[in-house]
Amino acid sequence: MSDSQAIAVDMRGITKQFPGVLANNHVDFSVRRGEIHALVGENGAGKSTLMNILYGLVHPDSGEILINGKTVHVGGPRDAIGLGIGMVHQHFMLIPVFSVGENIMLGREPVTGPDFYDRAHARAAIEDLTKRYGLALDPDARMGDLPVGLQQRAEIVKVLYRGAEILVLDEPTGVLTPQESKELFGVLRDLVKTGKTIIFISHKLKEVLEISDRITVMRRGKVVGHLITKDTNEEAIATLMVGRAVLLRVDKAPAKPGEVALKVDNLTATSDQSVPALKGASFELRYGEILGIAGVEGNGQSELMEVLAGTRHASGGQVLLAGRDITTMDANTERDAGVAFIPEDRRGTGLVLGFSIAENSILGRERALTFSWRHFVLNLVAIRNWALRLVKEFDIRTPSIDVAVRNLSGGNQQKVIVAREIGSNPKVLLAAQPTRGVDIGAIEFIHRQIVKERDAGAAVLLVSAELDEVRSLSDRIAVMYEGKIVSIEPPDTPEERLGLLMTGGGARAGAA
Amino acid sequence: MTPVTDILHLLFTANLWQATLAAAVLLLLPALGGVISERSGVVNIAMEGMMLTGAFFGVVADLAWHNPLAATGVAMLAGALMATVHAVVSIQFRADQIVSGIAINIFAAGLTVFLVNRIYGLQDVGHVGQSELIPYINVPGLDQIPFFGKVIFQQNVIVYVALALLVLTHIVLFRTRLGLRIRAVGEHPQAADTAGINVFAIRYGAVITSGLLSGLSGAFLAIGISNTFVPNMTGGRGYIALAAVIFGKWTPGGAFIACLIFGLGQAIYDNNSIIHVSPYLLSMLPYLLTLVVLAGVVGRSTPPAADGLPYVPGSE
């Protein structure tokens, strides 16, 4: 094949300096027409910056972009759309209160008369697209009412409607269930068959290996490797991404379960929208074991963790901690009783972003006598020493403990929470999505800490949207579906069986 | 007679409803601007100041040129100029929109008093001649309809204009491409930007439009209903208009209904001579209604998702 013909995207020597960060450092990136090209790297490696440059949202300091062999200037999204580049963003660019049709048409709306939005024409255009690519959608549905999988489909149709030949998908599977991811991959393969080119940004190496033809790896603003998918493996990519060998499997000894720590009996609670979310969950958690909860997000896991942590009221049922009823205890009393909580929303509930690392490191324990004089005046020296110790022990990368956590990377923010919670030597550790959005290197570290805590005799309850994480970390797996524990499975249960249980199939009656 | 029967009696007079509509229109014009501005994602609490500036410059221009049409144009431009300041500060420099709005209101109050002293000395601003006011026009034929003829068709020109603008605003916001884009920018500016829509241009346009409408309302107040400028003569109507925007759930029709309710309160107060209640109590009525409304009597209403949030291109 002649080179210039076959290359759809060719970015040469792209450099972009942000204040304090060299986001892209002479990056060369090329994608062949009709391939699925994966762009992988840790958070902050420069993937998003590179793609934002391609889409015109960010302007490079130097370097050039060639589309189909021609040098182009991408001044903004409008230019990119004109060049046939479409982007499906990680955080959907969809308006929940608009209809599916309006969302897809936005920016290229069909018009009649002076300036009237032409609904009939819009509907016809979408029907045509959905037929051509086999992506069924109801143009009149309200976007916010659709499940995430369909919202993403709408994003893809939106991009196709604009005539995109080159599709950039930024972390497209982050919000999808395993089933939805499978469907997405089918869609992507079909799109490539119709001649589209796809750039697939991800840090999930399994998926990258499954879907891509070639891989470009970035680290700290530089391209560190070009790989051909069929000739590589997870370990090789991970090593390039992190810059050192990474242990992808969790290395742990068999659990030695002790007494029952938490006994949850027929627990019920409502969600923020006041609809029942927990509908009679029952299980036992023992000291010295990790019980993982698998489930599609929104099946009551969040509410379960919050009730156990004392930040949400139970509407019924009972929670016993070592035989003592803690159902109605508030978060403060529970902390005193030895329950630690890593919340799923680290920026919202886990940290005060404007506070320093030192201040965040004692949140919830600020009245303990170690940190304050007569529960009243903070002992700043003790707090600083404590924070310094955590930073060292938990490898939090920061210039100082006085830095506001807002300025830390996501992985380091998470480490601050993990350090604070584990550092309190809890009897029970509640970990909700402990590694969400965290880099491979930090994931490895956090996993080791959780296992270490188990080995020290703590009871660990883990909730994760990543089935892989649940399977590799847990000693037992509880499957949650519609607010109940539908089954308890061993950790080596096949993914297919778990997937089935998670969506309400295959549960034996009364398996809980 | 008791005050209650006084008011009941008043409610059956066409005069009261004629005054209600006029008072409502005074609020409706800035409220329509507020709906447009907030739908695009810019909170506009500066309508009070824009209205006041419009009122002042309308009077100045009318006294100088003896031309109410030109004076109205000047009033609108003055409002638009204030709006541009709000736009630059809150859109370009991403300042807090509430703070920017309050600053503009305080600035407008000070500026107009300063200019009154500067231009007219310590005397009165002076009165605009009857023939140089924005005229009242009876619509031939329709004004003879019993009751409604007097209420709707014996009004100031601005009232007819405002009612037309009400319909126009609704159509533009909910039936046109431009309206779809304005709403998109107010809900999710990133989505609009990535779809190739110029977020800044839409927001500037929306805020400046609200300035034009507030200025028009100022002109109606100063050289339509009244015939002179008095410091702080808007008396919080810009704020009440903002309450009407919220009460009306960010729709032109809803805002109009809210304006009618507030206008009724105003009209009852203006007729206080035939009600045996302290006029001071009655004068609280529009503001009291505003408080009741804002306390959530209309149920929770959801503002546009990006209302009040500056847009930073390239951010997630």
Q: Mind listing the pLDDT tens digit for each residue in B163-180?
A: 999 999 999 999 999 999
CA distance B272 to B286: 14
B314 contacts A57? CB cut-off 8 A:
yes
Helix, strand, or coil here: A378? strand
**Looking only at Cα atoms, what is the longest distance across chain A?**
78
**Chain B touched by A231 (CB under 8 Å):** no
**Helix H or strand E encompassing A170:** strand A166-170
* Average pLDDT of the segment spanning B287-315: 76
For the stretch B100-120, pLDDT in tens is 999 999 999 999 999 999 888
The tokens describing A308, both together, are: 């156990």
Q: 3-state class of A147 per DSSP?
A: coil
Are the beta carbons of A58 and B176 separated by less than 8 Å? no
Q: What is the DSSP string of A433-494?
A: STTTT--HHHHHHHHHHHHHHHHTT-EEEEE-S-HHHHHHH-SEEEEEETTEEEEEE-TT--
Domains of chain A: 1-84+165-244 (3.40.50.300), 93-163 (no CATH), 288-313+328-502 (3.40.50.300)
What sign has the CA pseudo-torsion B96, B98, B99, B104? positive
Q: Which of B113, B41, B53 is nearest to B80 (CA)?
A: B53
Residues in chain B: 316
Examine residue B302 and state whether it is found in any structural domain, yes or no.
no
- CA A262, distance to chain mean position in Å, is 28
- From CA B197, how far away is CA A429, in angstroms rounded? 48
Task: Determine the Cα–Cα distance for residues B66 and B60; give it in Å rounded to an integer.
Answer: 10
Give the model's pLDDT for residue A217.
95
Averaged pLDDT, A481-510: 82
Query: pLDDT at position B314, please?
Result: 61
Q: Quick one: which of B117, B69, B108, B109 has its CA closest to B216?
A: B69
Give tens-digit pLDDT for B231-285: 999 999 999 999 899 888 899 999 999 999 889 888 888 877 777 777 788 778 7
Query: B248 to chain A nearest CA, in Å?
Result: 18
Count the Cβ atoms, other than its own, within 10 Å of residue A208.
23
pLDDT at A511 over 60: no
Strand partners, A116: A112, B176
B308 domain residue, yes or no: no
The position carrying tokens 């951010």 is B315
Confidence of residue A123 (pLDDT cuts 50, 70, 90): very high
Say yes or no for a CB contact (<8 Å) between A93 and B180.
no
Residue B303 domain-assigned (yes or no) = no
Q: Which amino acid is at A97?
A: V
Identify which of A119, A100, A98 has the alpha carbon closest to the alpha carbon of residue A109: A119
With CB atoms and an 8 Å threshold, state whether A87 touches B184. Answer: no
Nearest-by-Cβ selection for B191 from A90, A93, A115: A93
Chain A nearest-CA residue for B190: A93
Instruction: Give CA angle at A27 (A23, A32), nearest 5°.
Output: 130
Tell me the C-alpha distance between A443 and A96, whole Å. Answer: 33
Q: Are strands A197-202 and A214-219 parallel, antiparallel or unpaired?
A: unpaired
A175 touches chain B (CB under 8 A): no
> What's the structural domain count of chain B?
1
For the residues B143-165, what does the mean pLDDT come to? 94
* B305 falls within a domain: no
CB–CB contact B194 A90 (8 Å): no
Give CA–CA dist B86/A381, Å, rounded.
47
Residue of B188, B193, B313 with shortest CB distance to A95 = B188
Closest residue by Cα to residue A107 from B170, B178, B255: B178
- Could you give the CA distance from residue B310 to residue B99 in angstroms, rounded to a whole number? 13
CB of B187 less than 8 A from some CB of A: yes
Residue with tokens 């030109």: B70
Q: Residue B232: left (phi > 0), alpha (psi -120 to 50), or beta?
A: left
Looking at residue A374, its pLDDT comes to 84
Distance, in Å, from the CA atom of A194 to the CA atom of A190, rounded to the nearest integer, reads 7
The kind and range of the H/E element at B12 are: none
Query: What are the residue ranges of helices labelled H in A134-172?
Result: 148-161
Is the pLDDT at A229 greater than 90, yes or no? Answer: yes
pLDDT-based confidence at residue B298 (cuts at 50, 70, 90): low
| Residue A219: DSSP 8-state | E
The two tokens of residue B298 are: 């209309």
Cα-Cα-Cα-Cα dihedral sign, residues A327, A331, A333, A336: positive
What is the percentage of chain B residues whose pLDDT exceeds 90? 68
User: Which helix or strand (DSSP H or E) is residue B98 part of?
Assistant: helix B97-120
- Say whether pLDDT at B123 is over 60: yes
A344: distance to nearest CA of chain B, Å? Answer: 20
| Cβ-nearest to A78 among B180, B196, B313 | B196
Integer CA distances (angstroms), B276 to A418, B199, B264, B268, B279, in order? 70, 54, 17, 12, 9
**Largest CA-CA distance found in chain B, in angstroms, rounded:** 67
Chain A interface includes B184 (CB < 8 A): yes
Contact between B308 and B97 under an 8 Å Cβ cutoff? The reply is: yes
Residue A166 falls in which region: left (phi positive, over 0), alpha (psi -120 to 50) or beta: beta
**Mean pLDDT, chain A, integer:** 89
Tell me, what CATH number does B9's domain have?
Answer: 1.10.3470
**Which residue out of B183, B188, B198, B301 would a mutagenesis test of the A interface target, given it has the greatest number of A Cβ atoms within 10 Å?**
B188
Q: Considering the entire predicted model, what is its pTM?
A: 0.80
Q: Measure the N-to-C terminal CA separation of chain B; round to a whole number of Å.
A: 64
Find, among A39, A12, A41, A14, the residue nearest to A25 by Cα: A14
Query: How many Cα atoms occupy the beta-carbon half-sphere of B137 within 13 Å?
Result: 9
Q: Is B194 a domain residue?
A: yes
What is the predicted pLDDT for the residue at A506? Answer: 64
B187 vs B181: CA distance, rounded Å: 10
Name residue B147's amino acid.
F
Q: What is the DSSP letter of A20?
A: T
The verdict on B123 touching A (C-beta cutoff 8 Å) is: no
A268 beta partners: A279, A316
What does the radius of gyration of chain A's CA atoms come to, in whole angstroms?
25
- Contact in structure between B128 and B229 (CB atoms under 8 Å): no
Query: Which residue reads 């033809």 in tokens?
Result: A213
Task: Extract the tokens encoding A22.
Answer: 């060299």
- Give me the sign of the Cα torsion angle B262, B263, B264, B269: positive
The one-letter amino acid code at A333 reads T
**pLDDT tens across A140-175, in order?**
999 988 888 899 999 999 999 999 999 999 888 877
Quick one: average pLDDT of B50-56? 97
Name the pairing type of β-strands A214-219 and A222-228: antiparallel
Residue B33 near residue B214 (C-beta atoms within 8 A): yes
A81, A90, A106 member nearest B184 (Cβ): A106
Establish if B182 belongs to a structural domain: yes
Which two structure tokens, joined as six digits, stand for B25? 């229109």
Query: Can you name the residues that pair with A111 across neighbouring β-strands?
Result: A117
Domain that residue B49 falls in: 3-297
Report how many Cβ contacts below 8 Å link chain A to chain B: 75
Q: What is the pLDDT of residue A3?
A: 45
Q: Which residue of B has its CA nearest to A81?
A: B196
For residue A463, the cross-strand partners are A293, A432
By the 8 A CB rule, do B146 and B88 touch?
no
Question: With contacts defined as CB-CB under 8 Å, which chain B residues touch A111?
Answer: 177
Say which residues have a Cβ less than 8 Å from residue A10's Cβ, sequence separation at least 6.
A29, A30, A31, A65, A66, A67, A69
Residue B191, pLDDT > 50, answer yes
Q: Is B242 within the bounds of a domain?
A: yes
Which segment of A117-121, A358-362, B151-155, B305-309 scores lowest on mean pLDDT?
B305-309
Q: Which residues of A touch B183 (CB under 8 A)?
A: 95, 98
- A329 falls in which pLDDT band (50, 70, 90)? confident
Please state, as a whole number, how many other Cβ atoms lie within 10 Å of the Cβ of residue A385: 13
Q: How far apart are CA A204 and CA A223, in angstroms?
A: 18
User: What ipTM was predicted for this assembly?
Assistant: 0.87
E-state strands within A221-353: 222-228, 260-270, 276-286, 290-294, 316-321, 324-325, 339-342
Residue B316: predicted pLDDT = 46
CB A140 within 8 A of CB A101: yes
B26, B47 Cβ separation under 8 angstroms: no
| Tens digits of residue pLDDT in A387-402 | 999 999 888 888 889 9
Judge whether A163 is closer than 8 Å to chain B, CB to CB.
no
Residue B8 has pLDDT above 90, yes or no: no
Which element (helix H / strand E) includes A354? none
Q: Is A188 helix (H, G, I), strand (E, B) or coil?
A: helix
A114 touches B at CB < 8 Å: yes
Identify the CA nearest to B61 among candidates B187, B210, B222, B266.
Answer: B222
Please check whether residue A89 touches B, CB under 8 A: yes
pLDDT of residue A509: 40
User: How does the average pLDDT of chain B come out, rounded?
Assistant: 91
Q: Which residue of B has its CA nearest to A91?
A: B316
Give the residue from B263, B165, B265, B177 showing the smallest Cα distance to B214: B165
More confident residue, A28 or B2: A28
Element of type H or E holding A123: helix A119-133
In a domain, B147, yes or no: yes
CA distance A211 to A187: 11
Q: How far is CA A198 from CA A79, A125, A194, in A?
A: 19, 23, 11
Give exposure, A419-452, as e/b (b: 16+ Cβ within 10 Å). bbbbbbebbbbbbbbbbbbbbbbbbbbbbebbbe
The closest alpha carbon to A154, from A143, A165, A162, belongs to A143
